[in-house]
Structure 1
């Protein structure tokens, strides 16, 4: 027990990282392992949940995702799942999942870009690694491979929840409010750099709140309060609008709504 604690303290001391917005983080797992977990989890989900076959709608979602991730680098796999719940997620290794129900809430390309940029920001900030690292530090180890082999088990549900897929497996382990706030602000910058209208981010969150019928819907269950979110986005909006103007000067003017309408 004593040796395990010493080992964990040593790992913690050597695993300090900094988020894109400057916050200190604990990272115990190598990025290669996180990529493997993201790849395998995404593949398992696609086997279990039906995907939307409509090519035009898929092209629309892909158009927005491609624009958002243009400056991020890497290859991003996008899947549109036929699920009524308004949800979306992104996983380590460049995986993006969107529920068809989200398209009722995100009513145009800029609002969908808000959602996707927010989720991609979680990946860029390595929030899943941070959460898994905290779990490892607390529990002195998590049998990741065993958990991945049986997503329906208690350990499997815990792993999926930590990766950001908890809603799919009946267990909600949301990101912390600090992580959500980081994803909001970094996501706002991402969508603006891609040429989307950052002002639509506020409209998207208004749509989310309205869709809940007075109760927060699952996607917002642990996010910062609506008023706090709007306030923080508004404070960063001048910077985001400047990024959008720079993107427009480079010819970045996404036309994904035209793809959706055909």
Structure 2
């Protein structure tokens, strides 16, 4: 009986898997996008309502311009690679909000927010493209869905995921907020670091596809390291340390340059 249950569980996990574009990594995708997007729209509307948006300012227009340019290039690539269904799930929106947090984030479906405090670190549109490529990569790689699927699986077991979405909205929303980085649990941090490095790799290529020089990415992280102050140890952070990120970026630079030269 245990063997049968094990095979059944394995079959369910395999059935609920998807492949990340470009990296080819297999990921758990037990929660359908149709269930996630209402939560996304609700939270993003709340963010816009509660924030001072500066998207019509010169800096805000830079964020919008870079976001539209990168998302267009990425969608064209994804269509060529056969990811039409993924492209249909995107409803891109780019906003700059006033905040002293040196941060940016992206919700599923392409809802992106930059905070004003990160703009001096970006310096110019190439710097914005480093951050934007990274955030767009989170959406393309469906990282929030993967985190949410793993969170639901850890709490309930895969056979109960679909039931829980309909019958336990409080737990579903809590796991969703953790999955997009609003709230955190130590148990999910190492998983988040893997996603951050994958988003760095994809983001480097995405900015290059849009014609932004990927060689500016390591310099951005050098600047970010200087404003980090007394950053927490990497094992207690959802984000890898700048040195590690720079090392990984340089390792992927040759591949990114191929896309950059092709975009010229």
TM-score category, normalised to shorter length: 0.7 to 0.9
Which of 60, 63, 73 aligns to 1:61? It is 63
Q: 1:82 to 1:173 in 2, by over 3 A?
A: farther
Q: Greater helix share, 1 or 2? A: 2
Q: CA deviation at 1:49?
A: 2.3
Q: Which residue number corresponds to residue 128 of structure 2?
A: 112
Give distance in 1, aligned partners of 2:45 and 2:102: 21
Q: CA deviation at 1:171?
A: 10
Q: Which residue number corresponds to residue 207 of structure 2?
A: 191
Q: CA deviation at 1:163?
A: 2.1
- Is the CA contact 1:209–1:216 (under 8 Å) kept in the aligned structure 2? no
Q: 1:99 to 1:145 in 2, by over 3 A?
A: farther
- Is the CA contact 1:211–1:217 (under 8 Å) kept in the aligned structure 2? no
Which of 112, 128, 136 aligns to 1:96? It is 112
1:13 matched to 2:14? The reply is yes
Give distance in 1, aligned partners of 2:30 and 2:200: 25
Give distance in 1, aligned partners of 2:179 and 2:152: 11
Q: Which residue number corresponds to residue 144 of structure 2?
A: 128
- Is the CA contact 2:133–2:203 (under 8 Å) kept in the aligned structure 1? yes
TM-score of the superposed pair, with normalisation by structure 1: 0.79
Q: 1:172 to 1:156 in 2, by over 3 A?
A: farther
1:81 matched to 2:82? The reply is no
Q: Which residue number corresponds to residue 179 of structure 1?
A: 195
Which of 153, 158, 162 aligns to 2:179? It is 162
- Is the CA contact 1:50–1:81 (under 8 Å) kept in the aligned structure 2? yes
Q: 1:146 to 1:107 in 2, by over 3 A?
A: farther
Q: Which residue number corresponds to residue 45 of structure 1?
A: 47
- Is the CA contact 1:18–1:24 (under 8 Å) kept in the aligned structure 2? yes
Q: CA deviation at 1:11?
A: 3.4
Deviation readout 1:213-252 (Å, 9 max, x if unpaired): 242599x93322322211111111122122111111xxxx
Q: Which residue number corresponds to residue 30 of structure 2?
A: 28
Q: How large is the RMSD of aligned CA atoms in angstroms?
A: 3.1
Q: CA deviation at 1:32?
A: 2.2
Unaligned runs of 5+ in 2: 76-89
Unaligned runs of 5+ in 1: 249-262
- Is the CA contact 1:158–1:166 (under 8 Å) kept in the aligned structure 2? no
Q: CA deviation at 1:19?
A: 1.6
Q: Which residue number corresponds to residue 260 of structure 1?
A: none
Give distance in 2, aligned partners of 1:32 and 1:5: 28
Give distance in 2, aligned partners of 1:104 and 1:193: 24
Q: CA deviation at 1:189?
A: 0.1
Give distance in 1, aligned partners of 2:55 and 2:25: 41
Give distance in 2, aligned partners of 1:226 and 1:85: 17
Q: CA deviation at 1:45?
A: 1.4
